[in-house]
Amino acid sequence: MTGSEVPKCVHCGCNVVDFLEFSHLHTTHMERGGDHNRNLALRIVEGRVDLSDIEIACRICNAKLYLEKKFGPTGHTITWNTPLWTLI
């Protein structure tokens, strides 16, 4: 991701910033939104985070990833439908 791209979930494409959070790829440690995202963003800018362990995911996909890490495949399929979101 470069500075000019709109952030979005790497799994479903959700681009509602309030729904996005950082996901750790190689750990089961789940840290979510709010202060964690701000603190992690600062650590990324300062070069103190291994970016190979970080991706941007929406909270829905991140929850699925958490369950799959803990229990294995869940059978869930997540689809982002932008037109539905714009109607709300």
Q: Which residues bind Zn ion (CB under 5 A)?
A: 9, 11-12, 14, 58, 61
Nearer to Zn ion, 40 or 60 (CB): 60
Please report the beta strands in 5-71, taking only residues with DSSP state E, as ranges in sequence order: 20-24, 54-58
For residues 8 and 14, the answer to whether their CB atoms sit within 8 Å is yes
Nearer to Zn ion, 14 or 21 (CB): 14
> Nearest approach, Cβ of 64 to Zn ion (angstroms)?
8
> Nearest approach, Cβ of 12 to Zn ion (angstroms)?
3
Beta strand pairing call for 54-58 and 20-24: antiparallel
> Nearest approach, Cβ of 84 to Zn ion (angstroms)?
14
Nearer to Zn ion, 44 or 63 (CB): 63
Task: Let me know if 84 is exposed, middle or buried by CB neighbors in 10 A (0-12, 13-18, 19+).
Answer: exposed
